[in-house]
Structure 1
Amino acid sequence: MRLSIDIDYLLGQLRTLLAIDSPTGFTDSIVRHTAREVERLGLEVELTRRGAIRARRPGLQRRPARAVVSHLDTLGAQVKSIRDSGRLDLVPIGNWSARFAEGARVTIYSERGNYRGTILPLKASGHTYNEEVDSAPVGWRHIEVRVDALTRSKEDTRHLGIEIGDMVAIDPVPEFMENGFIVSRHLDNKAGVALMLAALEAMQREKIETPVDSYWLFTIEEEVGVGAASVLVPEIAAMVAIDNGTTAPGQNSDEFGVTIAMADQTGPFDYHLTKKLVELCRTYEIRFQKDIFRFYRSDSASAIAAGHDVRTALATFGVDASHGYERIHAHALRSIAELVTAYLCSDVLIQRDAEETAGLEGFTRQPNREADQSLTAETEDPIGEVE
């Protein structure tokens, strides 16, 4: 079943999420917003100690439950040191280039209060440095934050209450265009959160009954590799992560439709779950393409690394210039939201997944015979069970 997605609700949630600063380690506000919205939609919310969100939507059976996950945290920075000039040296939160930090407006979160500022190269004035502005090296050691307060020395800045370790949030500067393109920082992964909320809204609005419980997970430390390590429960047998896919030369991702990841730097995703997502896209005529990401990991990788024995897959929305000034299209967000509803409504075919361990009976099979070359590309593959 492919449900109709309220695109106005989806984009409204994305606007709201982008307006809430949430660099990794500073996510309380966005956790509160998201938890309240999930509660408003009718689900009970559980929070881990640090704030990862888990909400269960009851189905006809508790096992083998399915989960969908996105992360609330974004890239950011922290104050590494205070320069003699009173300006701030930075260390990044997450993996992103200082090339994209130059010129950004920021908020510095100190215990005494918030300050605004701008990230600048050390040689920022062409009237002073002339061509040296263009030849300056790129790197976190070569930029600084100019605080918008009266400070001309290290002592002045410390007097403001700014200290080493203070969080620095980067302004997203979002633009929602009439042609459906969205340009902003932090679309990774607030767009994923917004489309998950839109999928949940559609299922609640239509009072959809699913064959098994579904879990709606929102993590808070994906950008530093923790992700879904500690938010799963034993009932969950399969988890679909929602995140960004990189549109770049050599990649097959696209800003339209669903990009289904076949593998990332940690290896292939679950064969049967991934195959099921592909088949659902074909059945419900959801545009899709496949891709492999060599320098990328998501919430699914952290769950597996933490020892959770769950099937994992990754559905992505194509992002141009990931971890920079990112661009996506609303078509991809709607497409993934539709796929989420189709997946959660679909029949469970691997019944043995209800138990964490079981015998060989009912275990899955993968294709293991010579291809029939008379089959066309449209012919359904009769081999292999899928989740």
Structure 2
Amino acid sequence: MPRLAIDTEYLSHLLKELLAIPSPTGYTDQIVRFCCSEFERLGVDYALTRRGAIQAKLTGTSPAPARALIAHVDTLGAQVRQLKDNGRLSLVSIGTWSARFAEGARCTIFTDAGTYRGTILPLKSSGHAFGDEVDTQPVGWDHIELRIDAMSRSVADLMKLGVAPGDTVAIDPQPEFLDNGFIVSRHLDDKAGVALLFAAVKSLRESGAELPVDTHILLSIAEEVGIGASSVVSSDVASMVTIDNGVTAPGQSSQEFGVTIAMADMTGPFDYHLTRKLVRLCREHDIRFQRDVFRYYRSDSASAIEAGHDVRTALITFGVDSSHGYERIHLHALRSVAELVTAYATSSVEIERDALEIGPIEGFTHQPTEEARLEKDGNAPGLEPKKP
């Protein structure tokens, strides 16, 4: 089947809308509602888990072995840890990110009494007051504070405003979409993945492409704290491809162009057969790609396996520069990953045995060894050689 076209204008517009919705882990109701309305607009059936993870489905010619494609709507953020005597707030991070990227960030504090705007600052932020000490103070969450944009000079003032420990702090994304295709913003991890997944679904729907098996479109809500796919994968799913950011940095193969296929992350190798199939699909459909190994990284794939789901997992990514910082990607990578998603969804099933949750050895996979080649050809000891 020829490579499906991706509507990049739709992809970019949707990404802008997603970035405009604050959604740190634990505060995702609004973005879940937005994504549900987008599924409705595309004519795709969906259901929600109790906490708001989304299970949508594109029906194929056969229900099994079902496939899944997953991205996450939650982002990094912070929570109020303590009300300070100076009327400011100490913070604890939501997800794993450095306080050096929190310094200077504009943000919104969500309290039971309403929302407030503020800025995250180093404890010594004024050169006029502290001189060279602004450059020598340590970096860390214990060395920053949130200055709230309201009359607040004491703990009592903060309490009058309704601020309390545990209140969610959403970091402004500050996105820029450049004419040359680069996109610079916080929270591209993984709102860019969500946008390209919707763009792929739109392409599949509009093309009328036939899917060989049911394909589940999953959106998790707590990936940044390590539990994203643990409760959103149904038992009929045999393989799951995660869509997330790649690691563009010295010592890595990821790029901001094309697809970066992760061969392994800190939890171990991804499924051998599913990963190699994605590599073959890139070659067959002339999709630019590179392979990489991520050393300090985990994704929805890890949380699914750790929750006990017996699924083949893989990770396809768009290369992000300064991931979990002030991130940058290129539209070429987003389009390329969306193209691979459509190629995978329309590809034939190669491991038919995966339709069984548990079964005999017949139909089980081979990995490339000389013994496996002989057995596959019917030339292993004890087997009659296959006739030409």
Structure 2 counterparts to residues 14-33 of structure 1, below 5 A = 14-33=15-34
Identity of aligned residues (%): 65
Give the TM-score normalised by structure 2. Answer: 0.95
2:309 aligned with 1:311 = no
| CA–CA separation in structure 2 for the residues paired with 1:368 and 1:209 | 35
Q: Which amino acid aligns with 1:326?
A: E
Structure 2 counterparts to residues 328-367 of structure 1, below 5 A = 328-367=329-368
Displacement of 1:136 after TM fit?
Answer: 1.0
2:224 aligned with 1:226 = no
Q: Which amino acid aligns with 1:39?
A: E
**1:78-121 deviation per Cα after TM superposition (whole angstroms, max 9, x unaligned):** 00001001100000000000000000000000011000000000
Displacement of 1:189 after TM fit?
Answer: 0.2
**1:300-330 deviation per Cα after TM superposition (whole angstroms, max 9, x unaligned):** 0000000000000000000000000000000
| SS in structure 1 at match of 2:216 | strand
- 1:173 maps to 174
**1:45-80 deviation per Cα after TM superposition (whole angstroms, max 9, x unaligned):** 110000000001100000001100000000000000
- 1:11 maps to 12
| CA–CA separation in structure 2 for the residues paired with 1:296 and 1:39 | 33
- 1:282 maps to 283
- 1:90 maps to 91
Q: Which amino acid aligns with 1:27?
A: T
5+ residue gaps, structure 2? 378-388
| CA–CA separation in structure 1 for the residues paired with 2:77 and 2:251 | 28
| CA–CA separation in structure 1 for the residues paired with 2:31 and 2:220 | 11
| CA–CA separation in structure 2 for the residues paired with 1:17 and 1:336 | 18
- 1:134 maps to 135
Task: Write out the 4+ residue segments of structure 1 that deviate beyond 2 Å after TM superposition.
Answer: none
Displacement of 1:40 after TM fit?
Answer: 1.2
Give the TM-score normalised by structure 1. Answer: 0.95
| CA–CA separation in structure 2 for the residues paired with 1:232 and 1:139 | 36
| CA–CA separation in structure 2 for the residues paired with 1:162 and 1:207 | 51
| CA–CA separation in structure 1 for the residues paired with 2:289 and 2:143 | 41
| CA–CA separation in structure 2 for the residues paired with 1:158 and 1:106 | 19
- 1:267 maps to 268
- 2:326 maps to 325
* Aligned alpha-carbon RMSD (Å): 1.3
Q: Which amino acid aligns with 1:293?
A: F
- 1:40 maps to 41
| CA–CA separation in structure 2 for the residues paired with 1:134 and 1:141 | 16
- 1:379 maps to none
**1:156-180 deviation per Cα after TM superposition (whole angstroms, max 9, x unaligned):** 0110000000000000000000010
**1:273-296 deviation per Cα after TM superposition (whole angstroms, max 9, x unaligned):** 000000000000000000000110
Q: Which amino acid aligns with 1:58?
A: T
| CA–CA separation in structure 1 for the residues paired with 2:14 and 2:273 | 32
Displacement of 1:35 after TM fit?
Answer: 1.1
Displacement of 1:337 after TM fit?
Answer: 0.2
| SS in structure 2 at match of 1:34 | helix
| CA–CA separation in structure 1 for the residues paired with 2:20 and 2:355 | 40
- 2:381 maps to none
| CA–CA separation in structure 2 for the residues paired with 1:131 and 1:369 | 66
| CA–CA separation in structure 2 for the residues paired with 1:135 and 1:225 | 33
| SS in structure 1 at match of 2:169 | strand
| CA–CA separation in structure 2 for the residues paired with 1:359 and 1:231 | 28
| SS in structure 2 at match of 1:14 | helix
| CA–CA separation in structure 2 for the residues paired with 1:72 and 1:58 | 23
**1:342-387 deviation per Cα after TM superposition (whole angstroms, max 9, x unaligned):** 00000001111011011111110010039x9xxxxxxxxx9xxxxx
- 1:120 maps to 121
Structure 2 counterparts to residues 130-209 of structure 1, below 5 A = 130-209=131-210
| CA–CA separation in structure 2 for the residues paired with 1:39 and 1:309 | 30
- 1:52 maps to 53
| CA–CA separation in structure 2 for the residues paired with 1:308 and 1:354 | 14
Structure 2 counterparts to residues 209-220 of structure 1, below 5 A = 209-220=210-221
- 2:107 maps to 106
- 2:382 maps to none
**1:161-207 deviation per Cα after TM superposition (whole angstroms, max 9, x unaligned):** 00000000000000000010000000000000000000000011111
Q: Which amino acid aligns with 1:83?
A: K
| SS in structure 2 at match of 1:347 | coil
